[in-house]
Amino acid sequence: MELINLTEIIKLCWKNKKLFISVSIAAILISAFASYLIVPYYKSTTTIYPGKLSQAPINETAFRKGNIMEFGSTEDAEQTIEILGSNNLQERIINKYNLYDHYKIKREDPIARTLVLKEFQGNVSFKRTKFNSISITVLDTDPIMASNIANAIPSELDSVKFEIIKTRASDLVQNLIAQKHIQQVKIDSIRRTMDNFKAQGIMSQFELGYLLQAYAESNPSERNRMQTLINANISKGEDFDRKERELDYELDNLYLLEKYITQTKADAEVRFVQKFVVDQAIPADKNITLQSG
């Protein structure tokens, strides 16, 4: 086996020095260009569970069941993802952290809003796990900004969801109050009718029992007056009883309306946390690389 002659190799390299120099320069340029294209990004992730209810029912039974502390269902998780992906929530984060400047987008650009939302949505993702938690992942060239955005998103979720509930609940309160007024008018009318019956000596079945007992124990001089009352109750007693039952029914409906009004006002005025945060996002200490453009 012949040994390679080192001298011949050197001569060959010298003879083709221009080619080697050109290849080396090209390699350096390609490497520099590739380094420019590869942008270092930092990733931060937070995990949340949506709450079971939009608001907590204010009654003792629901409180004992602990509904406020229950994790949400698949439907709750999907609804939460819809809110997380809304322009309303995303623009809050964009304005809070002045992401127009951070992403180097000029506000006076006619499509600035479209551009900043596209950049934001490209850097932020939401994913529901099989256990119905939601993973929020944020990429950014600044590790602190990435973690700030990731932690701000669940906070803004509370604000957006509460405002949605408040708007709907406020409208419902007004409708319920109007219905309560109608209900009260109906009850007042029934009471006037019953007062008219009472003015004629018409009474409830319970009271009529005492009247019959008094009639049996009365002397002849009192019986004529009592007999008149008894006859009037025999004639109109069923109408009175029917009105009495109607009054009880309408009073129950009024009680339910008042209960709904109290609950709905609580929905509109009391702000509950809409999620459970499992892991807070922290600034990443290592970057990942993404192709720019």
Question: Which of 274, 287, 278, 39 has its CA nearest to residue 136?
Answer: 278
Rounded (10°) CA dihedral 97, 99, 103, 108: -140
Q: What is the pTM of this model?
A: 0.60
Residue pair 133/125 in contact by the 8 Å Cβ criterion: no
Residue pair 232/200 in contact by the 8 Å Cβ criterion: yes
* Main-chain phi, psi angles of 112, to 5 degrees: -60, -45
The predicted structure's pLDDT at residue 145: 95
**Interval 11-56: pLDDT, tens:** 666 666 666 566 666 556 555 454 445 678 899 999 998 876 544 4
Taken in order of first residue, the domains within the chain and their CATH numbers are 6-169+274-291 (3.30.1890.10), 171-269 (no CATH)
pLDDT in tens, the chain (293 residues): 444 565 666 666 666 666 656 666 655 655 545 444 567 889 999 999 887 654 444 444 444 444 444 656 778 888 889 999 999 999 999 999 999 999 999 999 999 999 999 999 999 999 998 888 899 999 999 999 999 999 999 989 988 888 888 888 888 888 999 999 999 999 999 999 888 877 777 766 656 665 666 656 666 666 666 666 666 666 676 777 888 889 999 999 999 999 988 888 877 776 666 677 877 888 887 777 554 44
Rounded (10°) CA dihedral 31, 35, 38, 44: 140
